[in-house]
Amino acid sequence: MPEIIPCGNEEVDRQFGGGLPFPTLMLIEGEHGTGKSALTAQFMKGYLDAGKKVLCITENTVKEYIENMKAITFNFSSAFLRNNLTIMPLHMYGVKWNREQAAYLLPVIGKYIGNSFREHNCIIIDSLSLLTMFSEPGKILEFFTQCKYLVSRGMNIVITVHPEDISPDLRMRIKGGVDVYFKLGISNIIGREIKTLKIVKLIGANENTDSGFGFNVDMLFGIKIIPVSEANV
C-alpha cells in the first residue's frame, strides 16, 4: 500500500481523504490560470514537510519561481538553501529553442530524472508544455513509460499539462497509465470565478475522498476550499 502524505493544508487533505498516495504518477491538467502551479506548490510543501527530497523542473528561473510562490504564501527558500529542494529551470537566459533542439528536451529530461533517483524522492514538472511542443507521440509515450518505471521503484512524479500539450488520443492513453489524474477548470458562480478540481482518477487513496471541489488561491492564506454547493464541481 502507498504511503499517504498530507499536503499541509487541512481543507485540501480532507478532500483527498487525509492526503495523497506516495509514490504515485500524477497528472494535473488545466488551462492557463486554473491553479496548476499553486496546487503543485501545495503538494510540494507536503512532500518537503514529510522529509522528501524534491526536484522541481519549471519554466521559470530559480529566483522567479521562489518569488512567485512566496506571493501565494509558499516559502521554499529554506528548503532550497538546505538542498532539500532543487529547482531546474527549462528556460535559459539568451537561449531560444528551435524545433530541432526542443525535440531533444523530453528525452534529455527523462534521462536526467532517471539519473537523479538517488538524490530525489519526488519530481515535479510544471509544466510539460515546452517539453512536448515538438516531441513525437512515441517519445511522449516513452517518457511516461519511464516515469511509471521510476514510480515502481519508489519515486513520486507530479506533472502539470495544458490540454493542448498532448493530442486527445494520446491523452487518453496516458490517462490510463497514470495513478492520479486531476482536471482543473474555472466555473462562474453568480458572477464569481471559482477554480475547480475534478478527481478523474486517484489510485491508492483512502476510501473517503470526494469527486472534486472548488478552490481559490488567496494571496494571504494560500489555497482555500470553496463549498461544493457553491462551486458546483
Strands 222-226 and 212-218: antiparallel
Burial of 123 (0-12, 13-18, 19+ CB in 10 A): buried
What residues contact residue 180 under an 8 Å CB cut-off, 6+ apart? 20, 21, 24, 25, 26, 27, 201, 202, 203, 204
pLDDT in tens, 16-57: 989 999 999 999 999 999 999 999 999 999 999 999 999 999
Q: Which pLDDT score is estimated for 108?
A: 87
Per-residue confidence (pLDDT) for residue 94, from 0 to 100? 53
Q: For residue 38, give the DSSP letter.
A: H
Q: Which residues contact 6 (CB under 8 A, 6 or more apart)?
A: 13, 18, 19, 46, 49, 50
Distance of CA 160 to the CA centre of its chain: 5
Q: How many CB atoms lie within 10 A of CB 89?
A: 16
Check residue 90 and give its pLDDT: 83
What is the pTM assigned to this prediction? Answer: 0.92
In this prediction, residue 211 carries a pLDDT of: 85
Asked if residues 160 and 34 have their Cβ atoms less than 8 Å apart, the reply is no
Residue 101: the pLDDT is 62
Q: List, for the chain, all residue ranges whose pLDDT scores fall below the cut of 70.
A: 92-102, 207-208, 210, 228-233
Question: In sequence order, what are the beta bridge partners of 156?
Answer: 122
pLDDT of residue 233: 52
Which domains, ranges and CATH numbers included, belong to the chain? 3-231 (3.40.50.300)
